[in-house]
Structure formats: structure tokens, C-alpha cells
Amino acid sequence: MTRSHRQASIRLISDRPITPSNTSKNWELVQEFAKDVFTDSVMKRLLPSEAYSDLRRTIDEGVALNENTADSVANAMRSWAQERGATHYTHWFQPMTGCTAEKHDSFLEVSDGQAIIQFDGSQLVQGEPDASSFPSGGIRQTFEARGYTAWDPSSPAFLRRDTSGCTLCIPTAFCSYTGEALDEKTPLMRAGEALQRHAVSAAHLLGYDSVKRISTTVGCEQEYFLLDKQFYVQRPDLANAGRTLFGAPPLKGQELDDHYFGAIRKRVMGFMEELDRELWRLGVPSKTRHNEVAPSQFELAPIFESCNVAVDHNMLTMEVMRNVADRHGFACLLHEKPYAGVNGSGKHVNWSMSCKLRGNLLNPGSTPQDNISFLYHLAAVVAAVDTHAPLLRASIAHSGNDHRLGANEAPPAIISAYLGDQLTAVVEAIVTGNSLNENDGGLMHLGVEALPPLTKDPTDRNRTSPFAFTGNKFEFRAAGSSQSVAVVNTVLCTVVANALNEMNETLQAKVAGGLERNEAIFETIRETLYAHQKVIFKGDGYSDDWLKEAEARGLPNLRGTPDALPAWISDEAFAVFAKYKVLSRRELQARHEVACEKYNTHLTIEGRCSSHMVRTLYLPAILAFQRRVGDTIMSSKAAGLDVTALRAQSQLLERLAALYNRINNDCEAMEAGMVKAESIEHAADALVVFKAEVLDRQATLREGVDEAELLVEDRLWPLPKYHEMLVIY
């Protein structure tokens, strides 16, 4: 019997040699950390001292860069890159596609027929890519189609290497001719500025007068799946939609919990080793690697960095993951739900605020004064999360993420904050004015002078909470694995800036009213926590009871992307983003438009893919099998066999015929749904229709196909099955 394409692949995969790793060089490789980065120390070494201090002022204090300094930096950067083999440079930016973009220019200029090398300050500082095809949500009309890229000196330039060349990448922001943000980076930087301003005011009000700058720190735990490329290329759904749209459950899923933190298979280890090495050269501080819950699912966690750099590094991590996987014969799946029935992938965004002088501001301190500062910032985050839950929800709204949120594997769509047992008790005591139980910290009569010593919470972390305080940072666990974390951080920085600003004003009013400063601070914390305690929840976020309780508490439950996206154009959003000059009304409307378009387009692609697969792969396979069974029955009859012995075959034939019809009808229904959804003019009006008529109908269509997969002869089944794809051979 001839082997199917699928079966031939399995054979090929099992015969694949494993690339031996060169462990003797590993330590040398660690020392190559950031070798391809134009780091601060490189700049210090290569720049004239005046230019270096000018540049530092630009980076640290946001002072505009003068032309001469820009020329010096450009010159140093170019010669550094050139020495390392770079022939080209690119402004590296993050349009609203969720991906990064680059357009390479060589350092080559021609003068009198002679090649000269040139790269000056103006080329470094500003670029003008003809980038009219990026989504702009209507901000850029074609007559003003040009977008500008502007150098972001706070994120270091780096070299990207591939087998044939080397390119200098300069992180940039991307805006329109009129200065409106066309990317994810610009609002992120504006939000960082807003937070910095109000956090510094808070520091001064709390008595830390010499604090000058406060920034946010971010560490993104990145989950992903690996899959053999041989399988990947055979699945049009994975290649085009990023997830499997069909597939019966695997024979063995995650029931045995034997993959989580299990020994890493050799072939995967080869991939991880090279991934780390490549990331280290790029200055990405990759730290932790392990197997995740689902079969063939893994995680990478870096050491946290300043927000802006962490966002860039996460984008880079995803790119490098894909490339290295490819070299190892894998496809790296970053979709939130590549396979139904096993866990999907998220990206935990660990978040805190910090300053040079005082370190991590969400670290419980050892003195009452430090603790009161800690509680002040904690209260601000709690207030921000409560007040702007819909915006946080919108920041992670995306068609892929809808498959995991609230599906007992990831936090629900209800945004709540978990503080741990000890801290919850402290908050309760502060809010109620009651004394604190001995076990919860030991001190009675909570007040300014008698805050309990707060230590890192020893209790088990609540994995079911979307926004958990984990000892010295918050962890936003609802972000999707494929998403840029720029948006989440833009929202977080803005809403925390707002909360700090409001608390600062309250505090100032109290002091002006004659209250002693520490009393005033404590009162401000108490009032803030009192007003926002409804968002604090320490129970099981996966339970049905929580759905009811959250409703009773008045917490919004925006289940899917169509429910969540309108928050971008709510009065609440217009007000808060305008107040802190992060996004104007027009920019928010544009972002909303882009997000709606993206959702509808993703669903359209899934619909098209499903229809193609059903009509050209699945239905023909079922038909072929029907024919085979039919032929068997016919030839048995012709041979004079007892017909009663053929009862099972006849029943199978009937089942197949019924399934064939059902799948065909369901496919037609979904196709009609697509036509209906696509005929709606405004993207925002089409969301709900796409969900009901395309996504939900696709799910029904899938049921029939998955049932057929369990009936049709293995050799005739055209696509790799879950139990094959989820195993790494």
C-alpha cells in the first residue's frame, strides 16, 4: 500500500539527525552577551565625551538632541556596525500590525562614480519610509501618505545577522506627517513620560525629594509551541491562520501532567541553546527555559528591563524564535490557541516601577516610611486597575486570545487584582480601621506609626487571577502570546499615572488643610483602597461563583473581542488618554478602527481557510473512503458473501454519508455567514456578525470534520493529526 504524504513525513522526521551541540563553547557565548548591541558602554568608549553627555541628557531627561551630537553618534554607530560587517541600516519600527517593520538602506553613496560610505545625523534621527500600506485607521489619507520614523535613543541600536549579511537596526517611533502616532511605540513612550511625571511628584510628596526619574520595569514570560516543519507545511490552517481549525483531540493530551517542567528533549534543547545564544548576542537577557503544560509547549522568561527596552526585546525574541526554529526544522507557533483541547499560550507581563535612588517601588520596605510608600504605589495600581478595567481588557483583546481567556486555562475576562493573603488582610485592616490579626503581621492598631513589617508573601500564588501581586511586582496574565506588549504597557502606564496624579492631588489638599503629612498620606491610601477594594479578589477566578460575585460587585465581564474593543472609543478612554497626552481622540478612533479591521480580517482568513480545507481536502477524503467501503460491500456481495456479515460496513457507509452531508451543509452556512459579514460597511458594526456567523459556525463545522477524522481510514486522511503534531520526535 502506498504511503500517504502525511505518513512519509513522519518517517522523514523520525530519521532526522539531531544537530550536536557544542557545549564546550557555552561559556564563551555567555561572554558574548550584547556583542551585537550599541550599548551605553560602547557609546561611552566611541563618542567624544561632550557628545556622550549630550546624548545621555537626551536619553535620561528627554532633552532634544542637537545636530552635531546626532552626527557624532551616527558616525560612531556606523563605524562600529561597519567593523562588524554591516553594509545596511534600517529604522526598525512597530506599526499597528502587531509586527515589526524594516526597510534597509545601504551605507553606500556614489560620488563621481566612486563608492563612498555615508551615514549622518539626519539619517540616524529621521527616516521617511514610503510606508503607506501600513494600517493607519484613517489617519493617513493617501495625499499625505508618508510616515516618518524617528530615532528612539532610549532603546539601543543592534545588529541583525543572517547567513548572507548584517544590518544595523535602529529602534524608531513611527508617526504621520501631522505628528500622530502610527505605531505602538509612540504612545508607549508618551505614557512612560506621563507615569514618570506623576510618580516623581508622588516621590516628592512622600518625602523623597531627590528622586528625579522613575521608570517602569517589565519582564515578559513568553509561551510558545514547537512543531515539526514537515507537519506545519501540510496544514494550511496553521500556515495561514496560525491555529489548527480542525483536528480530533490527541490520543494523549496533557492529562498526565508529564510535560510541565519535564526533561527537555534533545532536539528541543538544541533549539533552545541556539535561541539563547542568539538572544544574548542581541542583548536580550533570556534567563529561564522550560517545558510548559501542553505537549510541545515551552516558555522563555527574560530578566526584566526598563519598559521600552523590554517591549522591543520581546518583539525581537518572537522574531528570533521563529528564525531559529526554522533552522532546526521546527515551526514556532506563537498563536494563543494553536490546538483546541490543550492549553493555549499567554504572555505574563510582570510590571513594576523603579528609580535609581530607591529601587523597586513595589517592594515592601523594612521601615514604616518605606512601607507607607509601598502602600501608596500599591493603592495607585489597585485604583488604576479598578477604574480602567475595560481599557486593560481592550489592550489584550484579539481574536486569538478569545480562545483562552476564561476557558479554565487562563484568567477570565473579568479584570480583578490578587494581593496575596497577608496583603489582603493588611488592606482590609486599613480600610476598616480594625486591628490586624497577630498571624497577619503581628501589629495591632494599624496606623502610620505602626504598619506591620511587610515581607514577600510566602503564600501560594493564585494562578487564576488576571492581575496578581507577586511579592514585589504585578503580573498581568491575560496578555496573549502573539501580542506586542506595547499596548498593555501603554494602558498600564497611563492609568497608573492617572491614579497617582489623583492621589497626589488628594494628598496635597489634605496637607493644605492642615493634616500632618504622614497622617495625610495614610488617609489618602485608606480612601483610595476603600473606593477600589471591589477589584481585589483572592478566590478562584475560574469558578462560576466568581462570575456571579463579580457581577454583584459591578465588575465588567467583557467576554470576547467584540465586547472589549468599544472601550477604546469610550468617553472614559478619550478623557484619560487626552489628559495625559498619550493618545488623542482621533488616534484612539484610529486604533479602534485598526483593531476592528484586524479582528474581522483574522476571522475572514479562518473562514476562507476552513472552506478551502473542507472542500478540497476533507470532503474528498471522506468520499474516497466511502467509495472504498462501498466497493468492499459490492465485491463481497458479488462474491456471494452473507449480507448480514456486512451490516457494520453498511452502517459505516450510512454514517459517512450523513457526515458528508452535514459537513457540506455546515460549510455552506459558514460561507453564507462570511458573505453576510463582509457586506457590512463599517468594521465596528461587523464584529458581532463575524463572531456569530463565521467563528461560531466554523466551530460547528469543525465538529463534523473531527468526527470524520476518527472514522476515515488513516491512510486516506490528508492532514497531520493532533497526536502526530503534538509529539516531538
Applying CB under 6 A, the residues found at the interface with ligand ADP are: 217-219, 221, 301-304, 350-352, 360, 470, 472-473
Which run of H or of E encompasses 57?
Answer: helix 49-61
Q: Cell 533552522 appears where?
A: 327
Least spacing, CB of residue 350 vs ligand ADP, in Å = 3
Of residues 310, 637, 614, 704, the one with CA closest to residue 484: 310
Per partner kind, with CB cut-offs from 5 to 8 A, the member of ligand ADP, Mg ion, none near residue 301 is ligand ADP
Question: Is 140 or 348 the residue whose CB approaches Mg ion more closely?
Answer: 348
Question: Is 221 or 693 the residue whose CB approaches Mg ion more closely?
Answer: 221
Per partner kind, with CB cut-offs from 5 to 8 A, the member of Mg ion, ligand ADP, none near residue 646 is none
- Interface pattern 320-349 for Mg ion (x via CB under 5 A): ----------------------------x-
Question: Is 244 or 350 the residue whose CB approaches ligand ADP more closely?
Answer: 350
Of residues 103, 92, 95, the one with CA closest to residue 37: 92
Least spacing, CB of residue 193 vs Mg ion, in Å = 28
Least spacing, CB of residue 213 vs ligand ADP, in Å = 16
Three cell numbers, residue 96? 499597528
Least spacing, CB of residue 349 vs ligand ADP, in Å = 8
Least spacing, CB of residue 254 vs ligand ADP, in Å = 20
Question: Is 235 or 473 the residue whose CB approaches ligand ADP more closely?
Answer: 473
Question: Is 183 or 299 the residue whose CB approaches Mg ion more closely?
Answer: 299
Per partner kind, with CB cut-offs from 5 to 8 A, the member of Mg ion, ligand ADP, none near residue 304 is ligand ADP
Task: Give residues 199-238 in contact with Mg ion (rule: CB under 5 A).
Answer: 221
Least spacing, CB of residue 491 vs ligand ADP, in Å = 16
Please list, residue by residue across 120-138, b when 16 or more beta carbons sit within 10 angstroms of its beta carbon and e when fewer do.
ebebbbebebebeebbbbe
Helices (H), 94-183: 121-125
Per partner kind, with CB cut-offs from 5 to 8 A, the member of ligand ADP, Mg ion, none near residue 219 is ligand ADP
Three cell numbers, residue 584? 488623542
Which run of H or of E encompasses 83?
Answer: helix 67-83
Per partner kind, with CB cut-offs from 5 to 8 A, the member of Mg ion, ligand ADP, none near residue 480 is none
Among all residues, whose Cβ is closest to ligand ADP? 219
Per partner kind, with CB cut-offs from 5 to 8 A, the member of ligand ADP, Mg ion, none near residue 281 is none
Helix (H, G, I), strand (E, B) or coil at 76: helix
Task: Give residues 345-404 in contact with Mg ion (rule: CB under 5 A).
Answer: 348
CB 89 within 8 A of CB 105: yes
Least spacing, CB of residue 360 vs ligand ADP, in Å = 5
| Phi/psi at 78 (5° precision) | -65, -45
Least spacing, CB of residue 469 vs ligand ADP, in Å = 11
Three cell numbers, residue 300? 522563555
Question: Is 221 or 666 the residue whose CB approaches ligand ADP more closely?
Answer: 221
CB 515 within 8 A of CB 214: no
CA triple 6-11-17, angle to 5 deg: 130
Q: Give the relative orientation of helices 307-327 and 185-205 as an angle to the nearest 10 degrees.
A: 140
Three cell numbers, residue 338? 494553536
Which run of H or of E encompasses 354?
Answer: strand 347-355
- Interface pattern 237-256 for Mg ion (x via CB under 5 A): --------------------
Question: Is 387 or 462 the residue whose CB approaches Mg ion more closely?
Answer: 462
Per partner kind, with CB cut-offs from 5 to 8 A, the member of Mg ion, ligand ADP, none near residue 351 is ligand ADP
The Cα-based distances of 539 to 331, 393, 416, 465, 476 in angstroms read 38, 20, 10, 8, 17
Of residues 124, 166, 157, 125, the one with CA closest to residue 38: 157
Per partner kind, with CB cut-offs from 5 to 8 A, the member of ligand ADP, Mg ion, none near residue 671 is none
Per partner kind, with CB cut-offs from 5 to 8 A, the member of Mg ion, ligand ADP, none near residue 352 is ligand ADP
Contacts of 480 (CB under 8 A, 6+ apart): 336, 345, 346, 347, 396, 398, 400, 401, 404
| Phi/psi at 348 (5° precision) | -75, 125
Per partner kind, with CB cut-offs from 5 to 8 A, the member of ligand ADP, Mg ion, none near residue 9 is none
Per partner kind, with CB cut-offs from 5 to 8 A, the member of Mg ion, ligand ADP, none near residue 185 is none
Among all residues, whose Cβ is closest to Mg ion? 348
Question: Is 221 or 228 the residue whose CB approaches ligand ADP more closely?
Answer: 221
Cα–Cα dist 673/661, whole Å:
18
Of residues 191, 535, 534, 496, the one with CA closest to residue 361: 496
Least spacing, CB of residue 305 vs ligand ADP, in Å = 8
Question: Is 302 or 400 the residue whose CB approaches ligand ADP more closely?
Answer: 302
Q: Does 277 bind Mg ion (CB under 5 A)?
A: no
Question: Is 313 or 348 the residue whose CB approaches Mg ion more closely?
Answer: 348
Least spacing, CB of residue 337 vs ligand ADP, in Å = 22
CB 157 within 8 A of CB 170: yes
Question: Is 217 or 464 the residue whose CB approaches ligand ADP more closely?
Answer: 217
Per partner kind, with CB cut-offs from 5 to 8 A, the member of Mg ion, ligand ADP, none near residue 154 is none
Contacts of 30 (CB under 8 A, 6+ apart): 280
The Cα-based distances of 685 to 122, 588, 691 in angstroms read 44, 17, 11
Question: Is 244 or 481 the residue whose CB approaches ligand ADP more closely?
Answer: 481
Question: Is 175 or 311 the residue whose CB approaches ligand ADP more closely?
Answer: 311
Least spacing, CB of residue 347 vs Mg ion, in Å = 10
CB 164 within 8 A of CB 89: no
| Phi/psi at 114 (5° precision) | -105, 140
Least spacing, CB of residue 375 vs ligand ADP, in Å = 17
Least spacing, CB of residue 463 vs Mg ion, in Å = 8
What is the chain's length?
Answer: 729
- Residue 450 carries which DSSP code? G
- Where on the chain is the footprint of Mg ion (CB under 5 A)? 221, 348
